[in-house]
Each structure stands twice: as C-alpha cells, then as structure tokens.
Amino acid sequence: MSTPQIIPVSSDYIRILPEIVLSVFGMIIMLLDPLMDEERSQRTLGIIGLVGALAGLMATWFMGQDPGMAFWNMIRVDGFSVFFHFLILSIGAVVILTSYEYMAVQRIRAGEYYGLILFGMVGMCLMTSAVELVLIFIALEISSISTYILAGFRRRSATSSESSLKYFLLGSFATAFFLYGVAMMFGATGSTNIDVISAALRSNSIPVLAYVAMALMFVGLGFKIAAAPFHIWTPDVYEGAPAPIVGFMSTAPKAATFAVLLRLVFEANAPGRFWLVWVSAALSMTIGNLAALVQTNVKRLLAYSSIAHAGYMLVAFAAAPELGTSAVMFYAASYAAMNVGAFAVVSHLAGAGERHVTLEDYAGLGRRSPTLAAVLTIFLISLIGIPITGGFFAKFYVFSAALSANLVWLTLIGVINSAIGAYYYLKIIVVMYMRDAREEMSVPPVSWGVATALVISLAATIYLGVLPQSVLGFAQRSAKVLVQQPDAPITAGPAPIPAVHSTN
Amino acid sequence: MTGPLMILALLSAVGGFIPVEHFLEPVFGHGEVAAAAETASASLETTLKFVSVGVAGLGIFLAWLLYYKHRDLPQKIADSLGSFYQTVAHKYYIDEIYAALFVKPLVEGSTDILWHGVDQGVIDAAVNDSAVGARHASDAARHMQSGNLRSYAGWVAAGGAVVIAYMIWMGVAR
Amino acid sequence: MNNLDSSILSLVTFIPAAGALLLMLIPRRDRDIRIFALIISLLTFCLSLYLPAYFHRTQVGFHYEVNQQWVTSPNIHYHMGLDGISLWLVLLTTFLTPLCVLISWKSIHERVKEFFILLLVLETAMIGVFLALDLFLFYFFWESTLIPMALLIGVYGHGRKIYAAVKFFLFTMIASVFMLAALLWLYAKTGSFDFVTIQNAIHSGRVPGFEAAAPWLFLGFFVAFAVKVPLFPLHTWLPDAHVEAPTAGSVLLAGVMLKMGTYGMLRFNLGLFPEQSRSNAPWIMILALIGIIYGALVAMVQPNMKKVIAYSSVSHLGFVVLGIFSFTQAGLDGAMFVMLAHGVATGGLFMLAGILYERKHTYEIKDMGGLATPMPTYATFFLVVVLASVGLPLLNGFVGEFLVLAGAFQNRPVYGILGATGVIWSACYLLWMYQRVFYGKVTHPENNSLPDLDAREQLALWPAVIAAVVMGVAPLLWLNIIDPAVATALVPFAQVASKVVGQ
C-alpha cells in the first residue's frame, strides 16, 4: 500500500512546459502594459509576445523529448500532442507578426492583445495534451474566453462589439452543453479520464447515458469547430472581429478542438458516431459552400469557407481511426498555413477602421500590387485544392481515407462540393486580375511583420504541397500511437490518486 | 495573252497529225487494243472525221448568221420560244432548286434549330440555369443568418436536440 | 546517352517551368522577356527532338522511364514514361509553344512578363499530362493546366473573357473531380497509383469489388475526358473559351489541351477498362457522330470566324473519338493521326485568325471580304491550312480522317458512312468561310490598305504549313511509331486488326 502522491514530480512540469512558458510571458505582458506609455508599449509588448510564442516552440521541442503521462494521468505528451502544440504555437507566432502593422493602422492600444493571444494559446495547447475531460473543459474555457475578448478588440466599431458579445453568449451556451456531457459521461462510466472511459466503452454493454453524453459533447465541440448545424455564429463573428484574430480563431482553436474530438472519437472510441459525423460533414460542406457563393464581404466569404473546410475535416472522422486521424492532422496543418496567410493579406489591405474588406476593394489588385495579389492567389489556389499546394494534398488524404472505408457517397458529396467551392475563391482571383479598380487606391507598402508572416505561410503552403511526406509521416506515426493507446499499458507517471474513483 | 492563243490555235489545227503513239506507249501499250479494233474500218474513221468537222462548221455558220448577219434574229427566236427559252437561259433553275431544297433548309436549320435552339437554348441554358439555381440556393442558405442572437441560440438548441435524440435512439437500439 | 535517357523526360517537362521561374527574376523589359521565352521554348523543342530520334521501335512498353518514390504513404511515385501514343503529343506541344511565343510578340503589350510565365507553366503542365504514368501525377498535371489557361483567357482575352474563363474553369474542374473520385477508389483497392500496376491488377482480377464499381469508374474517368475533348453535349464551354482567348491561348487550347481528353480516353478508359469501353462504345460512337455532324453544321452558320474554327474543333475531335471507340487498328491509328493533324492545322487557323485580328480588331466575317487582294501571301497560307483542315489528300488531314473512317466502317458500316458525310460538311463550312473572307471584290474600302504578312508572322506560320504538307505526303514517319503502340493498346480487344502499316 503506497501513499498516494499529492505533489507533482518534476517531469510533470516539463510536460506542461510550453503552457508554463506562455503563461509567464503573458503575465509579463499584462504587468508591463500599465507601466509603459502608449507610444512605445505596442512595439515592446509585441516583441515580447513574439518571443513568448517562440519560447513556447522551443519548450515544445524540449517537452517532446520525454513523452509520457503527467499530473496523475491527466496529461499525455505524445507525438499527437506535440504536433498540435507546434501547430498552434506557429499559428500564434504568425498572427502576432501580422498584428503589429494592423494594430498600428487601427490605432488600437496593444497591451492586453498580445497577452490574450498567449493565454489563448495556453488553453489550446492544454486541450491537445489533456486526457481528462474536466481538464479539457478548463482548457476549452481558457481558450474560449481569450478569443471572446479578442473578437471585440476593435472597440470603436459596433460590429466588433456585436461579434464579441454574440460569440460570448453562444459560446457559453455551447460550452454548457459540453460540460453537461462531461457530467453524463462520468455518470455512465464512472470516470472522466479518457483512458478509463475508453476501456469502459469497449465493453459489450454501453449505457444509453454514454450516447447522450457523446451527443452533448459533440454539440459543444461542434460549435467550436463551426460544423453544421452549429455553425450559425461563424459568419457574424468573423465579419466583426479584427482580421488577424479571425485568422487566429479560424485555425488555432479549430485545430485544438479537432484534437479533442480525435481523442474522444478514436481514442475513447465514442459510440454511435458514424451517422452523426456523416450528416454533419455533408451539411457543413454544402451549407458552407452554397452560402459563400454570393458573398461580397471577403471576411464573411472566408467564414463560410471555414465552415466548409470543417466539413471536409469531419469526413475523415467517418473513416478508419488511423487513416482518419493522420488525414485530419495534415488538414489542420495545411488549412492553418493557407488561412492564416490569406487573413494576413486581408488584414494588410483592410485599412483603418477595416474600410476595405469587400470584393470591390480588391479589384485590380493584380495591377496595384502584383506581389500581394500573387501571394493571395496562391493561398486561394490552395483553398480550392489545386496541385502544388498543401490544400490539394489535404483534401486528397481526407478523401482517400474516406474511400478506404468505402464511403463512396460522402466522398462524392465532398469532391463535388470542392468543385463548386472553387467558384468563390476564383471570384476573388477574377476580381483581382480581371477587373480594374474604380479609383486609384494605392496599396500601402507591406511592413516587415506582415512580410515575414506571409513568407512563412507561403513557404508552409508550398512545402506541404510539394513535399508532404515529412509532415504526413509524423502525423501517421502519431496517429498510430493514438489509436493503439487503450491497448498499451499506461506508462510512466505515478499511480492515480484513489480519490478520483472513490465515490459511486 | 494573244501569244499563247496563237500557239494554241496552231496546235489545234495541226496537232492531230503529230504522231504521238510511240511517246504514249508506257500508258497505252503498243496499241494492241487499237489494232484489234482496226476492223472497225477506215471508212468509219473517215466518216466520223467529216461529221465532226461538219458540225463544227455548222456551228461557225450559225454563229455568223445569228450574231453577225442578222443581229435581230436571236431576240426574235427568244421571244417566240417564250418561257421555254427562259427556263433554259436560267439553266433549268437547277441552282434555285438546289438552293431552296438543300442550302436554305441546311443553313436556316443549322442556325435556328441547331445553334440557337439546341446549343444556346438547351445546353447553354442548362449550364446557365444551374448557375442561377446555385445562386438561389446560396441566397437561401445565407438568409439563415438572421442576425438575431436568440434565433442563433435556437439553432444551436435545435441542432443539439436532434443530435441528442438520435444518440438516445442509437443507444437504446443496441 | 544512357544517363540522358533517364532524365530526358524530366528535362523536357520542367525546363519550361524553370524558365518561368527565371522569368520572374528578369526585369520588365518586354523585348528581353519575349526573347527569353522564345529561347526557352525552342530549347524545350530541341530537347524533345531527342525523344523520337532515340526511340527504339522494337522495345515493348514505355520508353525513357523514370520511376522514383515521391511520397511513401500514400504510395505516389514520380513515374513518367513515353510510348508511341504519347510521343507525338509531347512533340506537338513543344512544337506549338515557340510558334505561340512568336505569334504573341506584338499582340500582348501589357503585363508581358506574366503572360509568358503563364504560357511556360502551362507548357510544363501539358507535357506532364502526356508523360505521367502515375495516376496521381496525371491528375496533378491535369489540374495544373486549369489556372494558367483560365488566367490567360480571363486577363489577356477580349469580349466576354471573364465569363469564358470562369465557364472553362468550372466546367472542366467539376468534371475532373469525378475522375479524382475514381482514381482514389482504385488507390484504396490496389494500394498503388501506378498505371502499369493497376492495369495488371485489373486484368488479373485482383481488385476487390471491381465488377460492381467498374461501370462507375469508367464513367468517372470518361466524364472528365469527355468535357475536355469536347464530346457533344458537353462542348458548350469550347466556343466561348476559344473565341475570347488570346491567340496563343486558343492555339494551345485547341492544339494541345483538347488532345489531353482524347489521350486520356485512349490511355485510361481503354487501357484500364476494356470491358466497359466495349459495352459503352455504341452510345459513345453515336455521340461522336453527332458531334461531327452537329459541330460542322453549327460551324457553317457562325458569323464569327473564330467560332467557326471552334466548332470545327468539335467536329474534328468527333472523328478522333469515333476512331478510338471503333477498336480497330485503322481507327486508332487514324485517331492519333487526326489528333496531330488537327493540332497543326487548327493551330495554324487560330494563328491566322489572330494575325487578322491584330489588323482589324474584329473576327466578324461580314467585316471582311475580298481580302485576297490586299493580302495575297496571307490568303495563300490560309488556303493551305484550310485545305489541310478540310482533309484534302496530300495534306495531313486526309490521312487521319481516311484511317478513322476505315476503322469506323469496319466496326459498323453505317457509322463509317455517316462519318464520311462529315468530310463533306467540313468542306462546306471551311470553304464557304474562305470564300466570304477572301474571294470576290473588296467589300469594305478600308480593307484595301491591310498590310500583308511580315517576316515574324511568316516565321510563325511556315512550320505549321510545312508540317501539314510533310505529314500529308509522308505519314509513315509518324505512323511507324504510333502503330506498334496502338497494337499493344488493342491487345485486350482482340478484334480483327487491319494491317495499316506494312512491316
């Protein structure tokens, strides 16, 4: 009989090192903000934010050297979580780079902005390595609250405040569903730990309560990834929020939530998921693509497109565990690269007060600023899914995963949707190159921050399109580990605290 | 232009007397067939020679008569023959019949039926209509966004209700 | 020579793309850009001459093969290879591109750099389509042709160029996603994208679930190719795209890109799904016949010269499809030859139309009339190309059409008879157009001062005309290589093959 450990060991702290680093930098920013005067604060705090994100990346590498369990089996560091840590931190770093110029143009007092991004990343990273449902909920809330506030950062604009409030109210509503689902799952299986739940769900009789729990959790998580029928908030929120934040919101929390879904669905072997995912995927793709066809506001158009892309990613969920997981991981990475890049261009062109976000404002961009137009064209081509870009391989892996599982109809719906979806991306390309601007609006020169952000996104998009093997290989190895997890013995880490299982 | 005509005239007159059988041997052989038909006799040959020259001469005489000597004669002949003359003059109206029977239906049929009717009216219209249809569907989808927060919450709740109901059904069915 | 063998295909494919990358770095001096583009395209053409020169006719299978793993999972290889069917199509592409550069010398004067970058990228993609032996690679190159061509039409075209570009893009893309679904299914069942591997697996019956899925797979591939060819009734994107495109775009679109569709039918539909090809052949041949006659009849009544040529493409490509699905040696040989002949002749026609447009800024036939008087050299070139398109013996069109009709007649006599009427119709519309444009009195006085061809334009036209004549009088030079490849392709069909090429 050993005394239960109540103090975490040092290896536990290493396994949440990125989160610790990010929190520290975030707190530094929050502390420094009131101490510095307005003019210089933006520059300095922005640099600190970027340094924090980069430090987080290094911490992730460090953390990845020693995979295992932490904090009484609440946290698992494996290839899967390291992948998502890298992804989310890179997205954060690129968004911070994009924001420098944006904040200066919009004349927003920086301050908390960078701190909130870092805090948001804490939540998202934690979500991907947590294997304890309550911890997932906490991390989900951390990330959500940060993004609620960030969405309303353009304080002088009514649409921004509206989008923040809508996001907050609806988001809390949906998260409540999730929490209720967690409670149900505890009632059904007696634990909130994913490994224990998965063992319980693999037995022959699964209580109805587990199904209901799964449904409720799906509502909450589906909201965050903007899957139909829980997508209704996306267009309004994306339209109002600041453009770099939309780039952040559409990629990082989505990736983190997909990581949670992957753990729930494949690791915990959630029951009854097939038709749920099938219908949700088909609806998301169709509604997202159809509604985007007539949009004239670029941010709203990209919002609907992100609903459609959530649909494509969900298709992989209906497929086999290993193939599906690696396909979703690759898709999350390539979607992040192209979407963050696209929103970087949108942020740059938006102008003070975000005046220039409609298609009309992009007319003749091919002539006014050829490099910027070419870069945006490559991101749009990637979103369409044309070869040489990461978007093509991403769609390709998802559809081949689906076909390996004989999901012919879903694949057909998917490919037809991607063809139809090509139209609205093409519309932007057409407007840029084939129409002339009504008045000669000059495009301001690109600052170093936006330029670096664009170079990174562009390089990632093309790299994933030409040499996808390294990223895909990593994803596949991580997926294998994830899927086999319940059979593998719970490795390093102290014994679980008995208190968790005592009451019944 | 006159030079070549003179040469042609000279050859026309005396060319028949130039022996070319030997030159044409590779094509026509040594004239075995001709030799076999020799029995058709020299008299037939002479008769044909005189007949053809005679007809040519008659034609020259008629031309001299109608267009040189009595210049009013052609018009009088034409008037007396009336519509028959008209028909022959218009080449038996073959060109007009051909145009009406073949060319006009073909051209008009191609224009109206095939080009405007099928190509533009059916195929292109189908393509363009499907584009219009997509636009209507898009408008319908986008009008789901009412902007009203409570209706949004309603959508989430409704979606949730459907999902929960389905899952309960799945759970109970097992 | 040996190491060139394994890398020649990659060189021929990617040198234009490398040239496009270099072009991005060259400063915007229009004359330098044009010369550089010309050099690159000529270099590619000269390199591609290596391919027939060292082609060993007796070697079975694919030549100059290069096969390297690109991505391990999924199993994608960089597998390129050449046989008698694709050899001349590659040469057609490299032959037409320098001519396109020459013909666009003066007509493109804005954003010249982007134009030639797009043209060179397009050339790489088109060559890649013909050389790819890995299904994924094939799809990769196939889709890569869409954006450059759409941009060429939409930015550098005229009239309803945006409508035409978007229509072209969406029509072709929506059709090719069905091909994507089909090839993903094949990958899921065989674990490989390799054409040869899949073909063997299908023929030896090792593909699970194949019998049920085969009709759909055939259709998936077929729809994508049918839109490209274009086969009636999926042809309506063609007139718009051809008419509104810039001259170089029209030449490449008609000369090469349409052949991508027929090549695909030959290689993939016949190669992978012989049973389904045979069972679907009747309605396909009927559609081809309709295309031949319908295309010709509609061409006859078009007031726009480029539209006449566009619909004539529909008609000619109908011959190709007729030949392919006749499953006879003559038919397929003829189909291949018509592909090449049409590329040269119609490419020439579009170049000539473009030359006229540069002078008159209109394609309307009613604005022409009696042009043989001010432009006799032009009229002569035009006449030769028109006659090649009509199919006059001694020019290349005749050889191909004759073989196709022979093959169609062997398949079913009535098809041959109906197809033969196509020759009559093509004479109708082409000669009538020629007469209205060139013969008779000059109807519009301003046409009297039109300048005749200058040296550059003649330089662009002579190769096409010479090719038309040489192909017409010495078709064996081409057929000697095509015939064995066609014979191999026909092995699963085991029909009575007519001996077309002696020894």
Query: pLDDT tens for residues C439-449?
Result: 888 888 878 88
- Chain B residues near residue C294 by CB distance under 8 angstroms: 114, 118
CB contact under 8 Å between B152 and A166, yes or no, is: yes
C378 at interface of B, judged by CB pairs closer than 8 A: no
Chain C: residue whose CA lies nearest to A367: C111
- C-alpha C255/C-alpha C89 separation (Å) is 10
Q: Helices A390-404 and A370-384 meet at what angle, rounded to 10?
A: 0
Q: Is C89 in a helix, a strand, or coil?
A: helix
CB contact under 8 Å between A366 and C170, yes or no, is: no
Residue B16 inside a domain? The answer is no
pLDDT at C260: 94
Long-range contacts of B119-124 (CB under 8 A, 24+ apart): B119/C236, B119/C298, B122/C233, B123/C233, B123/C235, B123/C236, B124/C236
- C196-252 pLDDT, tens per residue? 888 888 888 888 888 888 898 999 999 999 999 999 889 989 999 999 999 999 999
Tell me the sheet residues that pair with A81.
Answer: none
- C125-135 pLDDT, tens per residue? 999 999 999 99
- The token duo for B81 is 């023959």
- What distance lies between CA C139 and its chain's CA centroid? 17
CA distance to partner chain A, nearest, from residue B122 (Å):
22
Q: Where are the alpha helices (DSSP H) in A242-320?
A: 243-262, 273-292, 298-317
CA distance to partner chain B, nearest, from residue C327 (Å):
30
B124 at interface of C, judged by CB pairs closer than 8 A: yes
pLDDT at A503: 37
Residue B101 inside a domain? The answer is yes
A266 at interface of B, judged by CB pairs closer than 8 A: no
Residue B8 inside a domain? The answer is no
pLDDT at A128: 93
- B39-93 pLDDT, tens per residue? 556 778 888 889 999 999 999 998 888 888 877 877 888 778 877 877 887 888 8
- The token duo for A35 is 């101490």
In this predicted structure, the answer to whether residue A491 has a pLDDT above a threshold of 70 is no
- C-alpha A449/C-alpha A344 separation (Å) is 10
B125 at interface of C, judged by CB pairs closer than 8 A: no
Residue B14 inside a domain? The answer is no
pLDDT at B29: 62
Confidence of residue A487 (pLDDT cuts 50, 70, 90): very low
Residues B82 and B116 in one domain: no
CB contact under 8 Å between C139 and A387, yes or no, is: yes
Number of domains in chain B: 2
CB contact under 8 Å between C188 and A404, yes or no, is: yes
In this predicted structure, the answer to whether residue C300 has a pLDDT above a threshold of 50 is yes
Chain A: residue whose CA lies nearest to C146: A386
In this predicted structure, the answer to whether residue B27 has a pLDDT above a threshold of 90 is no
Q: Structural domain of residue B116, as residue ranges? A: 92-145
Is residue A464 within 8 Å of residue A396, measured between CB atoms? no
In degrees to the nearest 10, what's the CA dihedral of B130, B136, B141, B142? 130
In degrees to the nearest 10, what's the CA dihedral of A392, A393, A394, A399? 90
- Which H or E element spans position C436? helix C413-438
Residue B167 inside a domain? The answer is no
- C-alpha C101/C-alpha C123 separation (Å) is 12
- Pick from B134, B155, B170: which is nearest to A272 by CB? B170
Of the candidates B117, B110, B124, the one whose C-alpha atom is nearest the C-alpha of residue C429 is B110
Of the candidates A54, A373, A108, the one whose C-alpha atom is nearest the C-alpha of residue A245 is A108
B123 at interface of C, judged by CB pairs closer than 8 A: yes
- C-alpha A295/C-alpha A424 separation (Å) is 8
Is residue A317 within 8 Å of residue A261, measured between CB atoms? yes
Residues B29 and B84 in one domain: yes
CA distance to partner chain B, nearest, from residue C310 (Å):
13
Chain C: residue whose CA lies nearest to B104: C301
- C-alpha C44/C-alpha A504 separation (Å) is 78
A216 at interface of B, judged by CB pairs closer than 8 A: yes
Tell me the sheet residues that pair with C80.
Answer: C66, C132
- A211-234 pLDDT, tens per residue? 888 889 999 999 999 988 889 899
The pLDDT mean for chain C works out to 88
CA distance to partner chain B, nearest, from residue A229 (Å):
6
Confidence of residue A499 (pLDDT cuts 50, 70, 90): very low
In this predicted structure, the answer to whether residue C501 has a pLDDT above a threshold of 50 is no
In this predicted structure, the answer to whether residue A158 has a pLDDT above a threshold of 50 is yes
CB contact under 8 Å between A403 and C177, yes or no, is: no
- The sign one gets for the Cα dihedral B108, B112, B118, B120 is positive
Phi/psi of residue C59, nearest 5 degrees: -75, 130
The predicted model gives A479-494 an average pLDDT of 54
- B59-72 pLDDT, tens per residue? 999 888 888 887 78
CA distance to partner chain C, nearest, from residue A10 (Å):
38
Confidence (pTM): 0.84
Phi/psi of residue C69, nearest 5 degrees: -70, 130
Residues B72 and B120 in one domain: no
Phi-psi region of C111 (alpha: psi -120 to 50; beta: other; left: phi over 0): left
Most confident of the following: A392-396, A466-470, B118-122: A392-396
- CA distances from residue A498 to A1, A5, A242, C65, C377 in whole angstroms, order as listed: 12, 10, 47, 65, 98
- Interface A-B, measured as beta-carbon pairs within 8 A, has a size of 102
pLDDT at A496: 36
The predicted model gives C29-44 an average pLDDT of 90
CB contact under 8 Å between A473 and C144, yes or no, is: no
Residue B51 inside a domain? The answer is yes
Is residue C88 within 8 Å of residue C55, measured between CB atoms? no
The predicted model gives B123-148 an average pLDDT of 83
Residue B155 inside a domain? The answer is no
The predicted model gives C362-372 an average pLDDT of 87
- C-alpha A197/C-alpha A193 separation (Å) is 6
Residues B101 and B80 in one domain: no
Q: Where are the alpha helices (DSSP H) in A351-389?
A: 365-368, 370-384
In this predicted structure, the answer to whether residue C497 has a pLDDT above a threshold of 50 is no
Q: In one letter, which amino acid is B110?
A: S
Instruction: Pick the residue of B106, B108, B110 with the most C CBs within 10 A to test the interface with C by mutation.
Output: B110
- What contacts A176, CB < 8 A, 6 or more positions away? A220
The more confident residue out of B130 and C117 is C117
- Chain A residues near residue C71 by CB distance under 8 angstroms: 468-469, 472
Q: Is C364 in a helix, a strand, or coil?
A: strand
In this predicted structure, the answer to whether residue A492 has a pLDDT above a threshold of 80 is no
In this predicted structure, the answer to whether residue A500 has a pLDDT above a threshold of 50 is no
Of the candidates C371, C388, C342, the one whose C-alpha atom is nearest the C-alpha of residue C442 is C371
What is the domain partition of chain C in residue ranges? 1-267, 273-494
CB contact under 8 Å between A236 and B166, yes or no, is: no
CA distance to partner chain B, nearest, from residue A287 (Å):
6
The predicted model gives A400-422 an average pLDDT of 88
Residues B54 and B81 in one domain: yes
- The sign one gets for the Cα dihedral B65, B70, B71, B76 is negative
In this predicted structure, the answer to whether residue A489 has a pLDDT above a threshold of 80 is no
- The token duo for C387 is 């006659």
- C108-148 pLDDT, tens per residue? 888 888 899 999 999 999 999 999 999 989 998 999 899 89
- A23-81 pLDDT, tens per residue? 999 999 999 888 887 777 778 888 899 999 999 999 999 888 888 888 888 888 888 89
Residue B128 inside a domain? The answer is yes
- Pick from C167, C171, C300: which is nearest to B110 by CB? C300
CB contact under 8 Å between C301 and B107, yes or no, is: yes
Q: Is A92 in a helix, a strand, or coil?
A: helix
CB contact under 8 Å between B155 and A169, yes or no, is: no
CB contact under 8 Å between B118 and C236, yes or no, is: no
CA distance to partner chain B, nearest, from residue A216 (Å):
7
- C-alpha A147/C-alpha A24 separation (Å) is 19
User: Would you call the peptide bond into B19 cis, given omega within 30 degrees of 0 as the criterion?
Assistant: no
Half-sphere exposure of A487 (CA within 13 A, CB side): 6
Is residue C256 within 8 Å of residue C122, measured between CB atoms? no
CA distance to partner chain C, nearest, from residue B91 (Å):
23
Q: In one letter, which amino acid is A302?
A: L
CB contact under 8 Å between C184 and A403, yes or no, is: yes
